[in-house]
Amino acid sequence: MWQRQILGIPVEISYFTLIFFILYPLVGLWWEGVLLFALLISHELAHILMARAYDVEVKKLEIWPFGGVARLADIEEDAFIEAAIALAGPVHNLLLFFGGLLLWQLDVFTNPYWIGIYSRVNLGLALFNLLPAWPLDGSRVYRLHLSRILSPKEVEVRLKLVSRLTALFLVVIGVLSFIWYSGQLDFIIAGILLLFASRKDVYEKQGSFPVSLWQKKSQMINEGIMQGEALVVHQATPVYEVIDQLTPGKIYVIFVVDDSLKLLGILSEGRVAEAILYMDSDTEMGDLVEKHC
Protein backbone atom coordinates (compact mmCIF):
# COMPACT_ATOMS: atom_id res chain seq x y z
CA MET A 1 0.00 0.00 0.00
CA TRP A 2 1.12 3.57 -0.86
CA GLN A 3 0.23 5.94 1.99
CA ARG A 4 -0.84 9.59 1.79
CA GLN A 5 -3.30 11.86 3.65
CA ILE A 6 -6.61 13.45 2.56
CA LEU A 7 -8.25 15.96 4.93
CA GLY A 8 -5.97 14.73 7.69
CA ILE A 9 -7.03 11.09 7.24
CA PRO A 10 -4.42 8.40 6.41
CA VAL A 11 -5.11 7.01 2.94
CA GLU A 12 -3.65 3.74 1.68
CA ILE A 13 -3.68 3.39 -2.11
CA SER A 14 -3.32 -0.21 -3.24
CA TYR A 15 -0.57 -1.08 -5.69
CA PHE A 16 -3.32 -2.38 -7.99
CA THR A 17 -4.69 1.17 -8.12
CA LEU A 18 -1.28 2.69 -8.87
CA ILE A 19 -0.60 0.18 -11.66
CA PHE A 20 -4.09 0.73 -13.01
CA PHE A 21 -3.57 4.49 -13.35
CA ILE A 22 0.01 4.23 -14.59
CA LEU A 23 -1.29 2.25 -17.57
CA TYR A 24 -3.50 5.15 -18.73
CA PRO A 25 -0.69 7.53 -19.82
CA LEU A 26 1.26 4.60 -21.26
CA VAL A 27 -1.56 3.98 -23.76
CA GLY A 28 -2.08 7.67 -24.46
CA LEU A 29 -5.07 8.20 -22.17
CA TRP A 30 -3.48 10.70 -19.75
CA TRP A 31 -6.49 12.97 -19.20
CA GLU A 32 -8.90 10.02 -19.09
CA GLY A 33 -6.83 8.61 -16.20
CA VAL A 34 -6.85 11.97 -14.41
CA LEU A 35 -10.64 12.17 -14.73
CA LEU A 36 -11.14 8.62 -13.43
CA PHE A 37 -8.80 9.20 -10.47
CA ALA A 38 -10.49 12.53 -9.62
CA LEU A 39 -13.95 10.91 -9.62
CA LEU A 40 -12.65 8.04 -7.50
CA ILE A 41 -11.21 10.47 -4.93
CA SER A 42 -14.45 12.49 -4.92
CA HIS A 43 -16.32 9.23 -4.21
CA GLU A 44 -14.19 8.70 -1.11
CA LEU A 45 -14.52 12.34 -0.05
CA ALA A 46 -18.29 11.83 -0.02
CA HIS A 47 -17.80 9.04 2.53
CA ILE A 48 -15.53 11.23 4.64
CA LEU A 49 -17.89 14.22 4.65
CA MET A 50 -20.90 12.04 5.54
CA ALA A 51 -18.94 10.44 8.40
CA ARG A 52 -17.96 13.85 9.73
CA ALA A 53 -21.57 14.99 9.48
CA TYR A 54 -22.40 12.23 11.98
CA ASP A 55 -19.26 12.93 14.08
CA VAL A 56 -17.84 9.51 13.20
CA GLU A 57 -14.06 9.35 13.03
CA VAL A 58 -12.60 7.81 9.88
CA LYS A 59 -9.37 6.17 10.98
CA LYS A 60 -8.16 5.20 7.52
CA LEU A 61 -9.17 4.90 3.87
CA GLU A 62 -8.06 2.14 1.54
CA ILE A 63 -8.44 2.99 -2.16
CA TRP A 64 -8.88 0.34 -4.85
CA PRO A 65 -9.34 0.94 -8.60
CA PHE A 66 -13.15 0.82 -8.31
CA GLY A 67 -13.72 2.31 -4.87
CA GLY A 68 -12.43 2.24 -1.33
CA VAL A 69 -12.89 1.00 2.23
CA ALA A 70 -13.49 3.43 5.09
CA ARG A 71 -12.26 2.22 8.48
CA LEU A 72 -14.59 3.73 11.09
CA ALA A 73 -13.46 4.16 14.69
CA ASP A 74 -16.52 4.78 16.86
CA ILE A 75 -19.49 2.61 17.76
CA GLU A 76 -22.64 4.67 17.40
CA GLU A 77 -26.06 4.11 18.92
CA ASP A 78 -27.70 4.10 15.49
CA ALA A 79 -26.35 1.35 13.25
CA PHE A 80 -27.92 2.94 10.18
CA ILE A 81 -25.25 5.64 10.33
CA GLU A 82 -22.85 3.12 8.81
CA ALA A 83 -25.31 2.52 5.96
CA ALA A 84 -25.63 6.28 5.36
CA ILE A 85 -21.84 6.63 5.23
CA ALA A 86 -21.54 3.63 2.90
CA LEU A 87 -24.23 4.90 0.51
CA ALA A 88 -22.81 8.43 0.37
CA GLY A 89 -20.26 7.42 -2.27
CA PRO A 90 -22.65 5.76 -4.76
CA VAL A 91 -25.27 8.51 -4.26
CA HIS A 92 -22.58 11.12 -4.92
CA ASN A 93 -21.67 9.48 -8.24
CA LEU A 94 -25.31 9.17 -9.25
CA LEU A 95 -25.80 12.89 -8.60
CA LEU A 96 -22.74 13.67 -10.71
CA PHE A 97 -24.09 11.38 -13.44
CA PHE A 98 -27.49 13.08 -13.62
CA GLY A 99 -25.86 16.49 -13.25
CA GLY A 100 -23.69 15.76 -16.26
CA LEU A 101 -26.72 14.73 -18.31
CA LEU A 102 -28.47 17.94 -17.32
CA LEU A 103 -25.49 20.05 -18.38
CA TRP A 104 -25.40 18.11 -21.66
CA GLN A 105 -29.04 18.93 -22.30
CA LEU A 106 -28.36 22.59 -21.50
CA ASP A 107 -25.43 22.57 -23.96
CA VAL A 108 -22.93 23.38 -21.21
CA PHE A 109 -21.12 20.10 -21.98
CA THR A 110 -20.86 19.80 -25.74
CA ASN A 111 -18.07 17.26 -26.30
CA PRO A 112 -19.69 13.82 -26.74
CA TYR A 113 -16.44 11.97 -26.05
CA TRP A 114 -15.85 13.52 -22.62
CA ILE A 115 -19.49 13.48 -21.53
CA GLY A 116 -19.54 9.81 -22.49
CA ILE A 117 -16.51 8.99 -20.34
CA TYR A 118 -17.76 11.17 -17.48
CA SER A 119 -21.18 9.50 -17.52
CA ARG A 120 -19.88 5.93 -17.82
CA VAL A 121 -17.39 6.36 -14.99
CA ASN A 122 -19.90 7.90 -12.58
CA LEU A 123 -22.64 5.39 -13.37
CA GLY A 124 -20.14 2.53 -13.24
CA LEU A 125 -18.73 3.60 -9.86
CA ALA A 126 -22.23 3.99 -8.41
CA LEU A 127 -23.66 0.66 -9.64
CA PHE A 128 -20.50 -1.34 -9.05
CA ASN A 129 -20.15 -0.12 -5.46
CA LEU A 130 -23.76 -1.08 -4.71
CA LEU A 131 -22.96 -4.77 -5.30
CA PRO A 132 -23.17 -6.85 -2.07
CA ALA A 133 -19.54 -7.98 -2.33
CA TRP A 134 -16.84 -7.10 0.16
CA PRO A 135 -15.29 -4.52 0.32
CA LEU A 136 -17.80 -2.56 -1.77
CA ASP A 137 -20.25 -0.11 -0.19
CA GLY A 138 -23.21 -2.38 -0.91
CA SER A 139 -21.69 -5.12 1.25
CA ARG A 140 -21.91 -2.89 4.34
CA VAL A 141 -25.62 -2.35 3.81
CA TYR A 142 -26.07 -6.09 3.12
CA ARG A 143 -24.15 -6.92 6.30
CA LEU A 144 -26.36 -4.52 8.24
CA HIS A 145 -29.40 -6.46 7.03
CA LEU A 146 -27.86 -9.86 7.80
CA SER A 147 -26.85 -8.77 11.31
CA ARG A 148 -30.52 -8.33 12.20
CA ILE A 149 -31.36 -12.00 11.52
CA LEU A 150 -28.12 -14.00 11.76
CA SER A 151 -25.33 -14.57 14.28
CA PRO A 152 -21.95 -12.92 13.59
CA LYS A 153 -20.47 -16.23 12.41
CA GLU A 154 -23.37 -16.80 10.02
CA VAL A 155 -22.98 -13.22 8.73
CA GLU A 156 -19.31 -13.89 8.05
CA VAL A 157 -20.04 -17.10 6.13
CA ARG A 158 -22.88 -15.56 4.10
CA LEU A 159 -20.91 -12.42 3.23
CA LYS A 160 -17.88 -14.42 2.12
CA LEU A 161 -20.06 -16.63 -0.07
CA VAL A 162 -21.95 -13.75 -1.70
CA SER A 163 -18.72 -11.76 -2.20
CA ARG A 164 -16.97 -14.60 -4.00
CA LEU A 165 -20.01 -15.55 -6.07
CA THR A 166 -20.36 -11.92 -7.16
CA ALA A 167 -16.67 -11.76 -8.11
CA LEU A 168 -16.90 -15.02 -10.08
CA PHE A 169 -20.05 -13.78 -11.82
CA LEU A 170 -18.21 -10.65 -12.96
CA VAL A 171 -15.31 -12.74 -14.27
CA VAL A 172 -17.68 -15.00 -16.23
CA ILE A 173 -19.55 -12.01 -17.68
CA GLY A 174 -16.22 -10.44 -18.56
CA VAL A 175 -14.95 -13.54 -20.34
CA LEU A 176 -18.18 -13.87 -22.35
CA SER A 177 -18.07 -10.17 -23.20
CA PHE A 178 -14.44 -10.47 -24.27
CA ILE A 179 -15.25 -13.39 -26.58
CA TRP A 180 -18.53 -12.18 -28.08
CA TYR A 181 -18.39 -8.39 -28.07
CA SER A 182 -15.87 -5.59 -27.79
CA GLY A 183 -13.12 -7.48 -26.03
CA GLN A 184 -12.96 -5.13 -23.01
CA LEU A 185 -11.45 -6.50 -19.81
CA ASP A 186 -13.27 -4.28 -17.27
CA PHE A 187 -15.48 -7.01 -15.79
CA ILE A 188 -12.64 -9.53 -15.64
CA ILE A 189 -10.33 -7.09 -13.85
CA ALA A 190 -13.10 -6.04 -11.44
CA GLY A 191 -13.93 -9.66 -10.60
CA ILE A 192 -10.29 -10.57 -9.97
CA LEU A 193 -9.82 -7.52 -7.73
CA LEU A 194 -12.94 -8.44 -5.74
CA LEU A 195 -11.70 -12.01 -5.29
CA PHE A 196 -8.39 -10.69 -4.00
CA ALA A 197 -10.00 -8.11 -1.71
CA SER A 198 -12.58 -10.54 -0.29
CA ARG A 199 -9.79 -12.84 0.89
CA LYS A 200 -8.17 -10.04 2.90
CA ASP A 201 -10.56 -9.33 5.78
CA VAL A 202 -14.21 -9.88 4.90
CA TYR A 203 -14.92 -10.22 8.65
CA GLU A 204 -13.20 -7.09 9.95
CA LYS A 205 -13.09 -5.98 13.58
CA GLN A 206 -15.73 -3.30 13.10
CA GLY A 207 -17.92 -5.92 11.42
CA SER A 208 -21.25 -7.59 12.01
CA PHE A 209 -21.05 -8.04 15.79
CA PRO A 210 -20.84 -4.29 16.63
CA VAL A 211 -23.61 -3.68 14.06
CA SER A 212 -25.77 -6.28 15.81
CA LEU A 213 -25.01 -4.65 19.17
CA TRP A 214 -26.02 -1.22 17.84
CA GLN A 215 -29.34 -2.66 16.77
CA LYS A 216 -29.88 -4.25 20.18
CA LYS A 217 -29.22 -0.90 21.87
CA SER A 218 -31.72 0.83 19.59
CA GLN A 219 -34.33 -1.88 20.19
CA MET A 220 -33.78 -1.69 23.94
CA ILE A 221 -34.16 2.10 23.94
CA ASN A 222 -37.28 2.01 21.77
CA GLU A 223 -39.06 -0.92 23.42
CA GLY A 224 -37.72 -0.67 26.97
CA ILE A 225 -37.53 -4.45 27.35
CA MET A 226 -35.78 -7.34 25.61
CA GLN A 227 -35.39 -11.04 26.12
CA GLY A 228 -32.17 -11.86 27.98
CA GLU A 229 -30.00 -14.94 28.10
CA ALA A 230 -27.01 -16.10 30.14
CA LEU A 231 -23.90 -17.62 28.61
CA VAL A 232 -21.28 -19.46 30.69
CA VAL A 233 -17.79 -19.66 29.16
CA HIS A 234 -14.41 -20.97 30.27
CA GLN A 235 -11.70 -18.40 30.93
CA ALA A 236 -9.53 -19.80 28.11
CA THR A 237 -12.26 -19.38 25.47
CA PRO A 238 -11.21 -16.86 22.78
CA VAL A 239 -13.47 -13.88 22.14
CA TYR A 240 -14.25 -14.88 18.54
CA GLU A 241 -15.80 -18.16 19.70
CA VAL A 242 -18.05 -16.31 22.14
CA ILE A 243 -19.44 -13.86 19.60
CA ASP A 244 -20.33 -16.77 17.33
CA GLN A 245 -22.87 -17.80 19.98
CA LEU A 246 -24.53 -14.40 20.33
CA THR A 247 -27.67 -14.08 18.23
CA PRO A 248 -29.81 -11.05 17.30
CA GLY A 249 -32.89 -10.23 19.35
CA LYS A 250 -31.42 -11.16 22.74
CA ILE A 251 -29.20 -9.39 25.25
CA TYR A 252 -26.55 -11.67 26.77
CA VAL A 253 -24.89 -11.71 30.17
CA ILE A 254 -21.63 -13.66 30.02
CA PHE A 255 -20.38 -15.56 33.09
CA VAL A 256 -16.66 -16.42 32.94
CA VAL A 257 -15.52 -19.44 35.00
CA ASP A 258 -12.24 -21.25 35.65
CA ASP A 259 -11.39 -24.99 35.58
CA SER A 260 -13.25 -25.57 38.85
CA LEU A 261 -16.28 -23.64 37.54
CA LYS A 262 -15.56 -20.85 39.99
CA LEU A 263 -17.06 -17.57 38.81
CA LEU A 264 -14.30 -15.15 37.80
CA GLY A 265 -16.47 -12.32 36.58
CA ILE A 266 -19.50 -11.20 34.62
CA LEU A 267 -19.20 -9.41 31.29
CA SER A 268 -21.66 -7.60 29.05
CA GLU A 269 -21.86 -7.77 25.27
CA GLY A 270 -20.50 -4.23 25.22
CA ARG A 271 -17.27 -5.39 26.87
CA VAL A 272 -16.91 -8.11 24.24
CA ALA A 273 -17.50 -5.50 21.53
CA GLU A 274 -14.61 -3.42 22.90
CA ALA A 275 -12.37 -6.49 22.66
CA ILE A 276 -13.35 -7.01 19.01
CA LEU A 277 -12.64 -3.38 18.18
CA TYR A 278 -9.48 -2.70 20.15
CA MET A 279 -7.91 -6.11 20.93
CA ASP A 280 -7.10 -9.34 19.12
CA SER A 281 -10.11 -11.56 18.41
CA ASP A 282 -8.27 -14.53 19.96
CA THR A 283 -7.98 -12.74 23.33
CA GLU A 284 -9.11 -15.09 26.09
CA MET A 285 -12.24 -14.24 28.06
CA GLY A 286 -10.28 -14.55 31.31
CA ASP A 287 -8.06 -11.68 30.18
CA LEU A 288 -11.15 -9.54 29.61
CA VAL A 289 -12.27 -10.20 33.18
CA GLU A 290 -8.87 -9.15 34.54
CA LYS A 291 -8.85 -5.94 32.48
CA HIS A 292 -12.47 -5.22 33.36
CA CYS A 293 -12.00 -5.55 37.13
**Could you read off the pLDDT of 217-271 as tens digits, one per residue?**
766 777 777 778 888 988 888 887 787 777 767 788 889 998 888 888 888 877 7
Task: Let me know if residue 87 belongs to a domain.
Answer: yes
220 in a structural domain: no
pLDDT at 91 over 90: yes
Average pLDDT over residues 116-142: 85
Same domain assignment for residues 2 and 95? yes
The answer to whether residue 219 is domain-embedded is no
- 45 or 220, which is more confident? 45
What CA–CA distance (Å, rounded) separates 271 from 278? 11
Min mean pLDDT across 22-36, 127-141, 200-214 is at 200-214
For residues 12-45, b (16+ Cβ closer than 10 Å) or e, as one string? bbbebbeebbeebeeeeeeebbebbbebbbebbb
Q: Output the average pLDDT for the chain.
A: 76
CB-side neighbour CA atoms (13 Å) of 240: 13
Q: For residues 203-211, give the mean pLDDT.
A: 52
Domain boundary among 184, 214, 244: 214
Are 185 and 155 in contact by the 8 Å Cβ rule? The answer is no
171 and 57 in one domain? no
Same domain, 7 and 126: yes
pLDDT value at 95 more than 90: yes
Percent of the chain past pLDDT 70, that is, above it, reads 72
Q: 63 and 184 share a domain?
A: no
- Residue 202's pLDDT is 46
User: Of 130, 164, 182, which marks where a domain is finished?
Assistant: 130
47 plus 121 within the same structural domain: yes
Name the domain count of the chain: 3
Residue 40 lies in a domain: yes
Band the pLDDT of 291: cuts 50, 70, 90.
low
pLDDT of 208: 56
pLDDT at 206 over 70: no
Q: Are residues 22 and 101 in the same domain?
A: yes
pLDDT of res. 22: 73
Q: Is 60 or 230 the better-scoring residue by pLDDT?
A: 230
81 plus 190 within the same structural domain: no
Mean pLDDT of 105-134: 85
Same domain, 13 and 64: yes
What average pLDDT score do residues 179-204 get? 67
Single out the catalytic residue among 44, 82, 269, 284. Answer: 44
Judgement on whether residues 41 and 154 belong to the same structural domain of the protein: no
- pTM tops 0.75, yes or no: no
What average pLDDT does range 282-292 have in this prediction? 74
Do 243 and 255 have their domain in common? yes
What domain range includes position 230? 226-292
Q: Is 44 a catalytic residue?
A: yes
Residues 118 and 242 in one domain: no
Sheet strands side by side (includes 58-64): 2-6, 9-13, 58-64, 67-72
The span from the CA of 83 to the CA of 100, in Å, is: 26
| Predicted local confidence at residue 92, as pLDDT | 93
If asked whether residues 157 and 180 sit together in one domain, one would say yes
Boundary residue ending a domain (104, 130, 156): 130
Least confident of 25-29, 31-35, 247-251: 25-29
CA distance 161 to 159: 5
